[in-house]
């Protein structure tokens, strides 16, 4: 069971022999029915288990789905790690944050983006298993619908968005990660925390910086999929911001030129979320110092590309 930081304080009960009676005391009566006495107090052992969800594609950007743990090498802070668990994860519960930029810069595209987001949720959300929430943001973020698997409530929240105002992109990411994803209870089984960010990547009103927003996403174990609303055909600063946020969290950035391309982008995200791998290793660094540790996941076969988070924050004391 993994915590939000990607590390687990495992609690392993260990049986110890019964203590002998103190001087002057009588020994405890043996258990009836021939049962052996067991220790009542387990020994708790902390284990730094690091979980990594990742996607593998080939040179043509096609998903590769038939690999094993022997096809990968993992480094933490450039030190080799031993993969303890490996699986192809296609059925993990999803917790999805839909963040939609409602600033003036995307006014003419907002309605189509809303409908594409609704279609995505209808395709990906499994009632009783997955949940999503909706945040609209211009100057500041606004939670329009909290976690639910009710598609009608989510659709109504998305359609209620109104364009106008400046842009506080970093504040919106920070808010969604800290208030809605960081505070999720320790999941069993492990949850996938996914952010769908629809924006032009501009920011002119945030109190938090880009790196502060990214750090909060990394602490909350969030994977960001960014969809640019820029239609200029020019790789703007905003596009670079979206690409950076996605790359650092193991997600992907999309740059649809035509409005019709947006639906295809959502379909690609949906396919990817059902076609990922999961591995876990016990960190060779036992320090509980709260530092950020880099993760390098290398495929051993040539021509393959891995998308995964670039690190995690170690647990603190």
CA distance 169 to 138: 8
pLDDT of 32 reads 46
pLDDT of 155 reads 97
Task: Kindly report, residue by residue over 146-202, the tens digit of the pLDDT.
Answer: 999 999 999 999 999 988 888 999 999 999 999 999 866 654 457 899 999 999 999
Instruction: Let me know if residue 154 belongs to a domain.
Output: yes
CA distance 273 to 92: 9
Band the pLDDT of 316: cuts 50, 70, 90. confident
pLDDT of 165 reads 81
Instruction: Let me know if residue 12 belongs to a domain.
Output: no
Domain count, the chain: 1
CATH assignment at residue 185: 3.40.50.410
CA 225 vs. chain centroid, Å, equals 10
Cα angle for residues 177, 92, 100 (degrees, 5° grid): 35
CA distance 24 to 34: 26
Beta bridge partners of 145: 134
Task: Kindly report, residue by residue over 58-81, the tens digit of the pLDDT.
Answer: 999 999 999 999 999 999 999 999
**Cβ 243 vs Cβ 227: under 8 Å:** no
**Cβ 284 vs Cβ 81: under 8 Å:** yes
Domain residue limits at 226? 94-273
Which residue from 243, 250, 245, 240 is spatially nearest to 296, judged by alpha carbons? 250
Q: Which residue did the predictor score with more confidence, 177 or 234?
A: 177
Query: Does the pLDDT at position 306 exceed 90?
Result: yes
Query: Does the pLDDT at position 294 exceed 70?
Result: yes
Instruction: Let me know if residue 31 belongs to a domain.
Output: no
pLDDT of 36 reads 46
Least confident range from 33-42, 74-83, 88-97, 290-299: namely 33-42
Least confident range from 30-39, 70-79, 227-236, 265-274: namely 30-39
Which residue from 248, 135, 131 is spatially nearest to 187, judged by alpha carbons? 131
A 10 A CB-CB count for 58 gives: 12
pLDDT of 206 reads 96
For 143, the enclosing helix (H) or strand (E) is strand 141-148
Instruction: Let me know if residue 311 belongs to a domain.
Output: no
Instruction: Let me know if residue 160 belongs to a domain.
Output: yes
How many CA within 13 A on the CB side of residue 215? 9
Least confident range from 3-7, 275-279, 301-305: namely 3-7
How many percent of the chain have pLDDT more than 70? 83
CA distance 6 to 185: 13
Instruction: Let me know if residue 48 belongs to a domain.
Output: no
Mean pLDDT within 11-32: 39
pLDDT of 42 reads 54
Instruction: Let me know if residue 170 belongs to a domain.
Output: yes
Instruction: Let me know if residue 132 belongs to a domain.
Output: yes
């Amino acid at each position: 069971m993994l915590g939000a930081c990607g590390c687990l304080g495992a609690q392993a009960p260990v049986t110890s022999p019964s203590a002998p009676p103190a001087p002057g005391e009588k020994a405890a009566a043996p258990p009836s029915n021939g049962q052996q006495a067991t220790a009542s107090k387990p020994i708790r052992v902390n284990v730094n288990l690091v979980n990594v969800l990742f996607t593998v594609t080939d040179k043509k950007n096609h998903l590769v789905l038939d690999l094993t743990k022997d096809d990968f090498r993992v480094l933490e802070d450039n030190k080799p790690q031993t993969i303890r668990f490996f699986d192809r994860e296609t059925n993990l519960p999803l917790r999805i944050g839909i963040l939609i930029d409602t600033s003036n810069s995307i006014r003419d595209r907002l309605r189509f983006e809303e409908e594409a987001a609704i279609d995505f949720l209808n395709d990906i959300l499994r009632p009783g298993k997955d949940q999503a929430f909706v945040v609209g943001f211009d100057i500041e973020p606004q939670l329009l619908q909290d976690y639910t698997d009710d598609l009608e409530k989510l659709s109504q929240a998305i359609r209620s968005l109104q364009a106008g105002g400046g842009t506080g992109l970093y504040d919106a990411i920070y808010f969604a990660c800290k208030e809605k994803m960081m505070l999720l209870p320790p999941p069993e089984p492990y949850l996938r925390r996914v952010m769908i960010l629809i924006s032009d990547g501009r920011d002119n009103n945030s109190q938090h910086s880009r790196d502060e927003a990214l750090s909060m996403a990394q602490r909350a174990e969030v994977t960001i999929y960014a969809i640019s609303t820029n239609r200029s055909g020019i790789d703007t600063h905003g596009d670079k911001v979206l690409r950076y946020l996605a790359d650092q969290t193991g997600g992907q950035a999309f740059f649809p030129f035509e409005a019709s391309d947006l639906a295809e982008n959502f379909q690609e995200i949906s396919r990817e979320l059902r076609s990922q791998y999961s591995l876990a290793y016990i960190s060779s660094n036992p320090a509980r110092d709260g530092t950020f540790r880099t993760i390098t996941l290398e495929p051993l076969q040539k021509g393959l590309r891995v998308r995964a988070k670039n690190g995690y924050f170690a647990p603190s004391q």
